[in-house]
Amino acid sequence: MPRPFKCRRIHGCPGANYFKPRGVPMYALEEIILNVDEYEAVRLADLEGMYQEEAAEKMNISRQTFGNIVESARRKIADSIVNGKALRIEGGVYKMEGTRKFQCIACSHKWEVPFGTGRPSECPQCKSQNIHRAAEDRGFSRPGFCRRRHGGNR
């Protein structure tokens, strides 16, 4: 029996979840799915420049698993670029870590809430319902975007 999948920890969703070659209509493209955990592995290894052991710890997985995930992600990204395929970022077994920042328009109060707790209904300071994601946090505010699709959970 295979070992159960360990939930991977990610620290933010991508600002965009779909990339395609310019000038090619969608219906003519083959699509590659890059899981959100693969996206996070590439972000940590290639963009942040972390060593595999440090990045694996941040994602709550073993170094070997991290290496396998980042290798798979790089292969998919290369296939997309070299062969002109669309790249969709979605799915995977992961859990969001960290917090979301909100700001009250009425009193300018800023506060944070943990991922997975839902959107606050009012400002904790003045009770106004005129609240929005804080400007510095809007890159990850796309509703329903960063969830596991195809029958899984967060």
> What is the per-residue pLDDT across 42-80, written as a single tens digit (0 to 9) for each?
999 999 999 999 999 999 899 999 999 999 999 999 999
Average pLDDT over residues 103-117: 84
In this prediction the pTM is 0.66
Domains of the chain: 8-95 (1.10.10), 99-140 (2.20.28)
- Of the pLDDT bands very low, low, confident and very high (cuts 50, 70, 90), residue 91 is confident
Q: Are strands 8-10 and 94-96 parallel, antiparallel or unpaired?
A: parallel
Query: H/E/C letters for each residue in 85-118?
Result: CEEEECCCCEEECCEEEEEECCCCCEEEEECCCC
AA letter at 24:
V
pLDDT over 50 (residue 142): no
- Bridge partners (DSSP) of residue 32 are 87
Average pLDDT over residues 108-127: 85
Q: Distance between CA atoms of 122 and 87, rounded to whole angstroms?
A: 37
**Quick one: pLDDT at residue 149?**
40
Is the separation of the CB atoms in 139 and 146 below 8 Å?
no
CA-wise closest residue to 105 among 127, 87, 90:
127
**Quick one: pLDDT at residue 138?**
64
Average pLDDT over residues 110-134: 85
